[in-house]
Amino acid sequence: MPHSDRPNRLPPLKALQAFESAARHLSFKLAAEELCVTPTAISHQVKALEDYLGVKLFHRLTRSLRLTGEGEAYARLVIQGFQKLAEASNVLGSDEVKGELVVSTTTSFAGQWLAHRLPEFLKEYPGLSVRILSSDTVTDFARDGIDVAIRYGFGEYKDFHAAWVLDDFAAPVCTKEISAQLQQPSDLLDQPLVNYEWSRFSKIDPSWAKWFHAAGVKDVSSSVISTFSDAHMCLQAARDGHGVALVSVIAAARDLEHNQLEMPFDIKLKDKSYYLVCPPANFAQAKVRVFQEWILAQADLFRDSEIGLRVLDGGTG
């Protein structure tokens, strides 16, 4: 029966849940994995909802799924409705800082900046345990069971709670022995250069060509460049004295602080920034709020530290 004949009744909740998940993923298969049912069950529930409403919600293509115009409008409201339900449920226990906190972030940030600071957080909140999921691909909060993420980007997180954590820059780093041989930026042309191109690298990201341009070095054709897809590999190559690496100053900060590496020149390229991001419903949880308070305080301490004042000061666009 079409919805106009049932003005005071909600559609079946299971059908709404199946539609909400399928609309977010644009996939019956992924929705089925999230809800622990079969794709056929999701398809049947969506069809039942379409029959109930009297409108078609999806275009079912051969290898893909696409929302209709009515489906897009309905999905926006239904997804918001489920977020409100989650938020209402979270508020009931929102004052308790306990359980497991699942944090997603980049491999570089997790290993080089966050991990060695976490023990202080856990001392402050002994009722919490923390699980770090490190990946350079964007994860899904609901599907992957993530409470909060530290994401690397430009702050464009519509419909999410977001808080700026740290800006990042790219700069050359090397051993003390190599640094002693470098008097001016052009001296780098006599050194093996290590380049970092992560899995989502694009033309807008920092590169040696951009750095040399910022340093006023014209002829870079003679430089020898090795490229790695992992920041840790770049840093390890630099530690081992295999060359000069152009890397994130956030990733290199601990090595610089412990004098394992040096930054021979203060010329830096502005890169993306780190943001704490989560669905609004997740931020209603006390464990997420205290984690944000803690990590923003840690970021302030880092910015005001001797190494932070140097590596985060200024930079070239």
SS3 label, residue 133: strand
Q: Which of 56, 71, 91 is the last residue of a domain?
A: 91
- DSSP string covering 246-294, please? EEEHHHHHHHHHTTSSB------EEEEEEEEEE-HHHHTSHHHHHHHHH
* CA–CA distance, 78 with 68 (Å, rounded to integer): 15
Q: How many residues are listed for the chain in this entry?
A: 317
Residue 7 forms part of a structural domain: no
List the one residue out of 290, 282, 229 whose CA is nearest residue 90: 282
Q: Which of 36, 58, 91 is the last residue of a domain?
A: 91
| Tens-level pLDDT at each residue, the chain (317 residues) | 455 454 557 888 999 999 999 999 999 999 999 999 999 999 999 999 999 999 999 999 888 899 999 999 999 999 988 888 877 666 555 467 889 999 999 988 999 999 999 999 999 999 999 999 998 888 889 889 999 999 999 998 988 999 999 999 999 999 999 999 999 999 999 999 998 887 677 888 999 999 999 999 987 776 777 889 888 999 999 999 999 999 999 999 999 999 999 999 999 999 999 999 999 999 989 999 999 999 999 999 999 999 999 899 765 65
Residues 22 and 87 in one domain: yes
Residues 264 and 249 in one domain: yes
C-alpha separations of 116 from 120, 127, 152 in Å: 9, 19, 19
Give the structural domain span for 17. Answer: 13-91
Show Cβ contacts of residue 68 under 8 Å, excluding neighbours closer than 6 positions.
55, 56, 57, 58, 59
Residue 317 forms part of a structural domain: no
List the one residue out of 290, 310, 86, 299 whose CA is nearest residue 78: 86
Output the six-digit token pair for 29. Answer: 């298969």
Q: Where residue 29 sits, what CATH number does that domain have? A: 1.10.10.10
Query: Beta strands 224-228 and 99-105: pairing type?
Result: unpaired
* CA–CA distance, 66 with 58 (Å, rounded to integer): 6
* CA–CA distance, 278 with 147 (Å, rounded to integer): 7
pTM for the complete prediction? 0.71
Number of domains in the chain: 3
Instruction: Check if the beta carbon of residue 271 is closer than 8 Å to that of residue 196.
Output: no
* CA–CA distance, 31 with 27 (Å, rounded to integer): 6
Show Cβ contacts of residue 244 under 8 Å, excluding neighbours closer than 6 positions.
172, 173, 174, 178, 182, 188, 191, 192, 193, 194, 238, 264
Angle at 230 between CA 112 and CA 250, to 5 degrees: 30
Output the six-digit token pair for 154. Answer: 């430009």
Residues 149 and 277 in one domain: yes
Residues 158 and 303 in one domain: yes
- DSSP string covering 84-128, please? HHHHHHHHHTTT---EEEEEEE-HHHIIIIIGGGHHHHHHH-TTE
Residues 161 and 191 in one domain: no
Torsion of CA 28, 34, 36, 41, to 10 degrees: -20
